[in-house]
């Protein structure tokens, strides 16, 4: 579980130095990225005013606009069940407003979808470079595809020239010292061409590399999906351990940071995998009081209760499901 504790501490350090948002474990085109930093774009405040949740991609790409309401089935180029699910979610979070006409549901956007995010930076966490796993292939995928403006490898290990030679040149390399919350830049990341087409590396073997071309438009859609998922998800765990030895933060953090710290282990823990009767220090108790939303709002640009939520609450119970 060392990587989990390392990743939480690293997220806190990135968030403290960012004007945007940080999220963990996000799906990209071909793999799960450890950590993503979404930097603010010119209309970030407009996005924050709409909803605290991730907006469904289908709803954003639909022909539903902010003017005249449209019959929902005519506004989507997707199977009806997927479209209806996107409509339901968009209405629920306040991105769509709904009304009934002749027993049909019509929808419109409550606000224009803004140009809200700037650059995206991906972090691959590998505390111990002596156990690289699929590190090289993962980083090659990121560089070849170019979904992220920058890709950075973060490690606790001392970085040698041999390590650098095995890592794609465009990838930045940072050392992170968790107990200090401090980074040391070993190598700066080279900006990638996110506006150009990319190549997705699907699989690789000594005799064969399977690839797939990805157009610039497809990349733009993937980038928006990643940014939206990051906006809705964040990086803090949803629940803290139900244990007497659990705390809502670590020694170097704010007491209300809503982080799963175990005083018995002396580090952050993964409540879903490390806590319970199998742990030698387990002492059943209610989880520590913590407000994940408040902690995220205190440390980032995310708004847990935007004005858009007020619009959502007005008269929604009038609209029965079709």
168 and 264 share a domain? no
The residue that leads in pLDDT, 311 or 202, is: 202
151 and 251 share a domain? no
pLDDT class for 308, splitting at 50, 70, 90?
Answer: low
Q: What is the mean pLDDT of residues 181-190?
A: 96
Q: Please indicate, yes or no, if residue 140 is contained in any of the structural domains.
A: yes
Task: List the single range of 21-35, 36-50, 156-170, 304-318 with lowest mean pLDDT.
Answer: 304-318
The whole-angstrom separation of Cα 15 and Cα 123 is 13
Q: What is the mean pLDDT of residues 198-213?
A: 81
Coil/strand/helix, residue 274? helix
Tell me the per-residue pLDDT of 258-304, one tens digit each, with 9 for 90 and over: 999 999 998 899 988 889 889 999 999 999 988 999 999 999 999 99
Q: Please indicate, yes or no, if residue 273 is contained in any of the structural domains.
A: yes
Domain extent, residue 224, equals 2-43+115-233
Q: What value does the mean pLDDT of the chain take?
A: 90
14 and 140 share a domain? yes
pLDDT at 254: 66
31 and 130 share a domain? yes
What is the residue-wise DSSP string for 210-257? EEEEE-HHHHHHHHHHHHHHHHHH-SS-S----BTTEESS-TTS-TTS
């Amino acid at each position: 579980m060392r990587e989990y504790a390392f990743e939480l501490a690293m997220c806190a350090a990135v968030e403290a130095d960012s004007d945007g948002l940080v999220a963990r474990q996000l799906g990209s085109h071909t793999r799960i990225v450890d950590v993503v930093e979404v930097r603010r774009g010119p209309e970030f405040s407009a996005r924050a005013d709409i909803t605290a949740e991730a907006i469904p991609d289908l709803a954003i790409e639909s022909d539903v606009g902010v003017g005249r309401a449209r019959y929902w089935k005519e506004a989507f180029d997707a199977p009806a069940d997927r479209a209806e699910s996107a409509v339901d979610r968009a209405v629920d979070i306040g991105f769509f407003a709904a009304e009934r006409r002749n027993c049909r549901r019509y929808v419109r956007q409550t606000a224009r979808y803004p140009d809200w995010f700037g650059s995206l930076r991906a972090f691959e966490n590998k505390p111990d470079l002596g156990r690289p796993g699929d590190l090289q292939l993962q980083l090659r995928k990121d560089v070849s595809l170019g979904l992220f403006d920058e890709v950075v490898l973060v490690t606790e290990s001392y970085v040698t020239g041999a390590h650098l030679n095995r890592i794609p040149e465009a990838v930045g390399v940072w050392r992170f010292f968790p107990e200090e919350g401090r980074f040391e830049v070993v190598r700066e990341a080279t900006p990638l061409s996110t506006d150009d087409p990319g190549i997705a590396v699907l699989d690789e073997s000594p005799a064969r590399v399977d690839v797939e071309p990805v157009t610039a438009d497809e990349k733009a859609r993937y980038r928006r999906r990643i940014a939206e998922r990051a906006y809705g998800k964040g990086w803090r765990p949803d629940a803290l351990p139900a244990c007497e030895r659990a705390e809502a933060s670590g020694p170097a953090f704010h007491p209300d940071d809503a982080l799963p710290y175990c005083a018995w282990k002396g580090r952050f823990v993964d409540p879903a995998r490390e806590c319970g009767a199998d742990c030698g220090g387990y002492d059943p108790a209610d989880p520590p009081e913590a407000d994940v939303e408040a902690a995220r709002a205190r440390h980032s640009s995310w708004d847990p209760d935007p004005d858009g939520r007020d619009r959502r609450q007005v008269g929604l119970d009038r609209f029965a499901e079709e």
